[in-house]
Each structure stands twice: as C-alpha cells, then as structure tokens.
Amino acid sequence: MNELDYPTPLDREIKLDPSRVIMSKTDSRGIIEYANDYFMEISGYEEYELMGQPHNIIRHPDMPKVIFKVLWERINKGENIHALVKNLAKDGRFYWVLTNFETKYDTDGNIVSHYARRKAAPSNVIYQIEKLYKTLRAIEERQSPETAERYFEGLLEEKGITYDEFILNLLGVNENSLISYFVDSSTEMGKNTITAKKKGLLKRMFT
C-alpha cells in the first residue's frame, strides 16, 4: 500500500464516550485554569501544557470564526450556548463536541470565570453542521468574516431561530432535557449516576 493511501491525522476522528464530560474552566479572557482528566485524555495534552494557555490551543482550522464570535458574545453576557464544535487534539486528530457554558461573577458583577462542559455530539448532527461550517469557512476565506457573519445571520433570520434553536432542532431535543443531560453527568460522581431517564435521552441522541 502506498503511504498516501493512509489518512493523515487530520482525517482521523477520536470517538468520545457519550457518558463522559470534557470540562474546562478559564478566566474572563479564555485562559485555561482547569481541565478535567477526560479533557486531557482526549486532547492528548498534559496538565502543565494546558494551564495558562488560551483555549484556542484546541481550535480546529475547520471551525468558522463566526461561531466563536457568537459564543463569546453569549458567554460575555453570562448566557449559555449549545454550540457544536470540532476540536483539534495534540496529535492532529479531531473530535466533535456539544457545549454547555456557565459564567461566574465576583461581587462587583465582573466576570471571574467561564466553565465549559462538553459531550460527544451525535454523528447525524455532525454531518449536517459540517455542511454549514464548510460553507461559512469558504465565505470567510474567499470573501471575509463579515460576509460569513451576514450569511449566517440571514440563514437564521430566514428560519426565524437562534443558533441554539438551530442546534436543538438538529438534535431533536428541547433545552431543558439538554441541560439536565449535562448537569447530571458533569461530575465524576454524577457520571456514574445517570438516571434511566437520562440514559433514554442519551440513547435517543446517539442511535
């Protein structure tokens, strides 16, 4: 077999365990202050390589800028966002996640930390979001990030929905069930106590 027949690391996907959560905490500017064991296991980075680094250390080149723009606008207002993100592992492989964010403030109302919890994204959703992200990346490269943003806004306006609603529609679940899906399994302890009901949701999303 010719060596060109082998896929490059960039073509290779890391399959996530749908019951486990990838968690990280950053300061107000997105500098990593904590990453859980599963984050390190999947990204391939050691703790000392992540601490103090900007979170874009795992940014994948296929991700459109506009998605992160929307993400930061939302979390800087203290709002959650369920984004579908393709991440880059240290060895060049990739993994798709679905996010859940939480923002913590000090007593003066300044942002102290952002918490991100991520779980495996169902493959049928990945296929659809990949098409959209490819279009957005192409517009960003051939025209400009602003044009991609206008395209994205136009698309959502036409559907009369927000980015999250777009994602929820793709997933076929409502916001409450998605939040409980993250909350119940967001800790190592919770991970082992996913209720039968949540397992049902998991099953629906991953079959």
Ligand X SMILES: Cc1cc2nc3c(=O)[nH]c(=O)nc-3n(C[C@H](O)[C@H](O)[C@H](O)COP(=O)(O)O)c2cc1C
Instruction: By CB under 6 A, name the binding residues for ligand X.
Output: 24, 26, 30, 55-56, 58-59, 63, 65, 68, 75, 85, 87, 114, 116
Do 205 and 122 contact (CB within 8 A), yes or no? yes
- Whole-angstrom distance, CA of residue 63 vs CA of residue 59: 7
d(CA 23, CA 115): 7
Q: Which helix (H) or strand (E) holds 102?
A: strand 94-105
CB of 83 to ligand X, least distance (A): 9
- Smaller CB separation from ligand X, 4 or 29: 29
Residue (12 or 60) nearer to ligand X, CB: 60
Nearer to ligand X, 141 or 172 (CB): 141
Q: Structure tokens of 8?
A: 């490059």
Q: Judged by CB, which is closer to ligand X: 68, or 206?
A: 68
CB of 43 to ligand X, least distance (A): 9
Which lies closer to ligand X via its Cβ, residue 47 or residue 197?
47
Helices (H), the chain: 37-43, 47-50, 65-75, 123-142, 145-159, 163-171, 175-183, 188-191, 196-206
Return the structure tokens found at 206: 């991953």
User: Shortest distance, CB of residue 1 to ligand X, whole angstroms?
Assistant: 34
Q: Closest distance between ligand X and the C-beta of residue 8, in Å?
A: 20
For the bound state, the minimum distance from the C-beta of residue 146 to ligand X, rounded and expressed in Å, comes to: 15
